[in-house]
């Protein structure tokens, strides 16, 4: 589906300015009415009664607690997708349905005043900072949890942002992440485009994050329109402030009544404009305006799928990996995962093309693969040294049904006492899942600059060597180039790597470890805690993923 190839140009630019009801005049027991869309060709009208005004519920913004009434709402309650539904007192606009709570016995909603939404430039309360080095030190499974803290606005506990209905075949790996961002999946294919409806208060609107062979969009409701400017949702979407996301028409299908919070299913429609502000009291966009897009290509065993996503330091990588995972699940289907290789190709704007490779096998392979697809663009996009936006992204997956893992069962060398720079013969023993043993031999140089001391050599997969590195020293690059070098170093499960470990201080400079630091020089660096010397050597990049490590102790002589 090509949502945004042609932006729908809207000729009606004479929408009247809304006459707003000031929240200072609101009193308990006041009655009003509102508009929202549940089904059929037009919005429904519901009744509203003010319960009270909550101060401090949202920082600096009064929230009007209101009881709603309509047969559809009496059955389903306040539902996901209702966010932004306008509520009026008389013929004056009070604000937008924005908040509700789980397991209510009656339809209660928190109303964000329209006067707070109008011209708002207040950012949502900051989410947790995302440090690229923190992601580098995380396991694949931990990355999603770290992103929750980086993307979810810090809003009151217990108050569910009336969740935006999100659809597009969301992989189960991402459900927890987007639930924490107050969105919920609704996996429905887009239907035929209905006749256009007015883009004004009470009518649905969507914000697209990915479109094409993988689609992802959130639907809510328009609160009011001023000329070519739309105000909607009444609460943050992603809370990113300045934004450039496509606004699209949303076509409601039905409201699914649930015990927790009900949900409106909607299909994405044609492009309508650009979402330009995503703040504390809602979103604001301009009709008829286009936004930049990032093409993403996904090849699975030679079969290519394409979609586009938005250009944003964090959201681009998140949506690219989400779309790749959706396509992967459709192409590979359920069942044992087998073995797969992944190549990630990133094209930063104005920078060199970057290529990274990984290999995966076994029961956790799908999650690990998607974690790797997410890691590289998100780490680069969130780096603190240089702004990185992408022109395009490509993923290539080669998959086979057989589980071809091998385990490192041991290692041996021909010498136990060596000199710096001397060459040794290393034998690495492995075993596959069927119990077949194999030995490989390598000619290896002892690192130069070693003093007489005891040190060790750890042999294993790049993934498990990475775990040894995390324990020995923090993964904290000091520049963008150092970050790229770190990402490019052997880390895949299919890489057979040796790690020389010397328990003696070394000097870190220019993102490099210098192993032969003179002890007298090191002692003069008062108050500086220097890491142990670590030298990593790639022995072989293999087809089959490896597990396990083996360690050999050495002594050096002069």
Could you report the per-residue pLDDT of 35-93, keeping only the tens digit for each? 999 877 789 999 999 999 999 888 889 999 999 999 999 999 999 889 999 999 999 99
pLDDT category of residue 527 using cuts at 50, 70 and 90: very low
How far apart CA 171 and CA 395 sit, in angstroms, is: 17
Report the chain's mean pLDDT, rounded to a whole number. 82
Instruction: Name the fold adopted by 294-400.
Output: Dna Ligase; domain 1 (3.30.1490)
- Structure tokens belonging to residue 405: 């893992």
Identify each DSSP E strand in 130-281 by its residue range. Answer: 160-161, 164-167, 183-185, 204-212, 216-226, 229-232, 241-256, 263-279
Find the farthest-apart pair of alpha carbons in the chain and give their distance in angstroms, rounded.
93
pLDDT higher than threshold 60 for residue 170: no
- If one compares 97 and 16, the residue with the highest pLDDT of the two is 97
pLDDT at residue 15, as a whole number: 43
**CA 356, 358, 364, 366 torsion: positive or negative?**
positive
How far apart CA 537 and CA 550 sit, in angstroms, is: 15
Q: Is 376 helix (H, G, I), strand (E, B) or coil?
A: helix
Are the C-beta atoms of residues 223 and 84 closer than 8 Å to each other? yes
Please name which of 96, 93, 73 lies closest in space to residue 84, comparing C-alpha atoms: 96
**174 phi and psi angles, rounded to 5 deg:** -105, -5
- For CATH 2.40.10.10, list the domain ranges present in the chain: 1-291
The tens digit of pLDDT for each residue in 95-149 reads 999 999 888 889 999 999 999 999 778 877 766 566 666 777 676 667 766 776 6
Please name which of 496, 450, 58 lies closest in space to residue 236, comparing C-alpha atoms: 58
Least confidently predicted of 89-93, 380-384, 512-516: 512-516
pLDDT category of residue 421 using cuts at 50, 70 and 90: confident
Q: Is 174 helix (H, G, I), strand (E, B) or coil?
A: helix
CATH class of the domain at 1-291? mainly beta
pLDDT at residue 21, as a whole number: 96
Q: Is 133 helix (H, G, I), strand (E, B) or coil?
A: helix
Under the phi-then-psi rule, with left for phi > 0, alpha for psi from -120 to 50, and beta for the rest, what region is 84?
Answer: left
Least confidently predicted of 25-34, 196-205, 331-340: 331-340
- For CATH 3.30.1490, list the domain ranges present in the chain: 294-400
User: ∠ CA(366), CA(372), CA(378), 5° rounding?
Assistant: 135
């Amino acid at each position: 589906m090509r949502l945004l190839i042609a932006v729908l140009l809207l000729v009606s630019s004479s929408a009247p300015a809304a006459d707003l009801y000031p929240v200072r005049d609101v009193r308990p027991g006041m009655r009003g009415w509102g508009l929202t869309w549940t089904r059929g060709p037009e919005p429904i009208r519901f009744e509203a009664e003010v319960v009270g005004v909550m101060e401090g519920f949202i920082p600096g913004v009064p929230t009007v607690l209101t009881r709603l009434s309509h047969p559809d709402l009496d059955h389903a309650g306040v539902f996901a997708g209702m966010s932004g539904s306008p509520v009026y007192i008389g013929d004056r606009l009070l604000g937008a349905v924005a908040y509700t709570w789980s397991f209510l016995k009656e339809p209660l909603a928190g109303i964000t005043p329209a006067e707070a939404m109008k011209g708002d430039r207040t950012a949502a309360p900051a989410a947790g900072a995302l440090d690229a080095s923190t992601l580098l030190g995380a396991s694949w499974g931990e990355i999603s949890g770290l992103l929750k803290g980086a993307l979810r606005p810090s809003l009151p506990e217990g108050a569910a942002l009336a969740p935006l209905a999100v659809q597009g075949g969301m992989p189960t790996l991402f459900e927890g992440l987007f639930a924490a961002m107050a969105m919920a999946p609704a996996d429905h294919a887009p239907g035929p485009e209905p006749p256009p409806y007015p883009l004004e208060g009470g009518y649905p609107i969507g914000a697209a994050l990915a479109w094409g062979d993988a689609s992802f969009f959130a639907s809510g409701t328009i609160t009011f329109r001023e000329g070519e400017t739309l105000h909607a949702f009444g609460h943050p979407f992603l809370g990113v402030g300045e934004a450039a996301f496509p606004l699209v028409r949303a076509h409601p299908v039905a409201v699914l009544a649930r015990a927790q919070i009900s949900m409106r299913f909607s299909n994405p429609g044609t492009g309508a404009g650009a979402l330009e502000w995503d703040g504390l009291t809602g979103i604001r966009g301009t009709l008829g305006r286009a936004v930049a897009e990032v093409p993403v290509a996904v090849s699975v065993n030679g079969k290519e799928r394409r979609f586009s996503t938005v250009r944003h330091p964090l959201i681009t990588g998140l949506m690219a990996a989400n779309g790749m995972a959706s396509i992967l699940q459709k192409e590979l289907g359920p069942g044992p995962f087998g073995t797969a290789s992944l190549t990630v190709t990133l094209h930063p704007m104005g920078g060199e093309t970057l290529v990274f490779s990984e290999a995966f096998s076994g029961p956790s392979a799908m999650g690990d693969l998607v974690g790797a697809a997410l890691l590289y663009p998100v780490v680069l996009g969130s780096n603190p040294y240089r702004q990185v936006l992408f022109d395009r992204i490509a993923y290539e997956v080669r998959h086979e049904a057989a589980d071809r893992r091998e385990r490192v069962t041991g290692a041996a060398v021909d010498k136990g006492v060596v000199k710096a720079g001397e060459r040794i013969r290393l034998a690495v023993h492995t075993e596959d899942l069927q119990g077949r043993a194999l030995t490989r031999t390598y000619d290896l140089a002892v690192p130069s600059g070693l003093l007489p001391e005891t040190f060790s050599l750890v042999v294993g997969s790049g993934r498990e060597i990475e775990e040894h590195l995390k324990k020995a020293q923090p993964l904290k690059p000091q520049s963008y180039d150092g970050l790229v070098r770190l990402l490019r170093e052997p880390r895949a499960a299919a890489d057979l790597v040796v790690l020389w470990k010397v328990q003696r201080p070394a000097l870190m400079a220019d993102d490099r470890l210098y192993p032969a630091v003179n002890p007298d020089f090191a002692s003069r660096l008062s108050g500086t805690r220097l890491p142990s010397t670590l030298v990593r050597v790639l022995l072989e990049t293999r087809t089959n993923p490896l597990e396990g490590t083996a360690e050999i102790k050495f002594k050096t002589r002069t």
